[in-house]
Amino acid sequence: MRKLDNYVMRTVGASMLVVMFVVLSLDLVFGFIAELDDTWGDYQALQALSYIIMTLPRRIYDYLPVGAFMGCLIGLGAMANSSELTVMRAAGVSIRRIVWSAMKPTLVVVVIGLLLGEYVAPHTERIAQSQKAMALGASKNIAAASGVWHREGNTFIHLNAVQPDGVLVGVSLFVLDDDRWLSSSTFAERATYQGGHWLLENASRTRIFRDRTEQQSYSQLRWDSGLTPDVLSVLIVKPENLAMTGLYTYASYLDEQGLNATNYWLAFWKKALAPVTMAVMVLVAISFVFGPLRSVTMGFRVFTGIIVGLLFKYTQDLLGPMSLVYGFSPILAILTPIVVFAAIGGLLMRRAG
């Protein structure tokens, strides 16, 4: 029996690797082509290639659920087509044991996903975004197209880049008074954290009055803000590419500031429930092989897998923004498709048994 378990594990695991290789290869090629459209200044083909390589851990993390689902569907499907599953069932191997053997490679994928999503992908993504912004001239362009916006009280902040060491590059501060009048605008090439406050370097400030403006230049200028390097380091990266610890820290900070943190809580719960998502997707794949896709061609099985995977993804992608608009809990938006697909998989498995 152990040999059968190992055989199922190897078959499913190898199929997952093949699917990941094919999907990632296509994604890297098309990603590089898309980056070539952004080449400008010092950001050329070589820098674009470096950016694609640095974002590889994030891309692997994004496609792990697809790899697990499609790999299991194709691996077990190939065994079904060659009647190996039928022979196993006739030899007394239960469906439950086959399911557990197919789930074991998924556990490895879950562990890899947790490590990549928490410790590797956020760090490399931050470096990639910072290097790209610097190559595009982050310290020279006021409110460049890259970077992020943030509001703290009546101050609107734009950061062109946040370097991995916590140094800010291209800092723009726009201060509004109680009448919503733009009272001052400040731009600094760099900013470093000095333990409780920020020190702006090579800064210029323009004070805007009703009838005149005044401009001053500073080699150094103090900036008091509740933002810390730990909080700012998450700003330059999209919420879905952050570590769970970073998401929790920044979402809590936004709640303290009275700002909307739903987008970050949504990304937090999506990451927290990612292992459950992968397990459910694999369960659905297994139920399809033992159920409606037991005797179809491999091409149709792959087509069905793509449709089901896209349906799951688009359901989550649709419910996520709906939670932002209609105000229901982000965790509900993530759990709903998981519960629905788990119920479908469980129902098909009961019929197969």
Residue-level pLDDT, tens digit, the chain, 353 residues: 678 888 889 999 999 999 999 999 999 999 999 999 888 777 889 999 999 999 999 999 988 888 888 888 888 888 888 888 878 878 888 888 888 888 889 889 889 988 998 889 888 988 888 888 777 766 665 555 567 788 888 899 888 888 877 788 888 999 998 888 888 999 998 899 987 889 999 999 999 888 888 889 999 999 988 788 877 766 667 787 888 888 888 888 788 877 778 888 888 988 888 889 888 888 888 888 877 656 667 677 777 777 887 788 788 878 888 887 787 788 888 889 899 988 988 887 777 66
Q: How far is residue 149's CA from residue 144's CA, in Å, rounded to a whole number?
A: 11
Q: Which residues, other chains included, contact 303 with Cβ-Cβ below 8 Å and sequence gap of 6+?
A: none
What are the two backbone dihedrals, phi and then psi, of residue 151, each rounded to the nearest 5 degrees? -115, 135
- H helix or E strand, kind and range, residue 156: strand 155-162
Q: Which residues of 191-226 are buried (b: 16+ CB within 10 A; e: fewer)?
A: bebeeeebebbebbbeebeeeeeeeeeeeebebebe
Query: Is the separation of the CB atoms in 292 and 352 below 8 Å?
Result: no
Q: How far is residue 158's CA from residue 152's CA, in Å, rounded to a whole number?
A: 11
Q: Give the predicted TM-score (pTM) of the model.
A: 0.77
290-302 residue pLDDT tens: 776 566 676 777 7
- 3-state DSSP assignment of residue 222: strand
Q: Which residues of 281-296 are buried (b: 16+ CB within 10 A; e: fewer)?
A: bbbbbbbbbbbebbeb
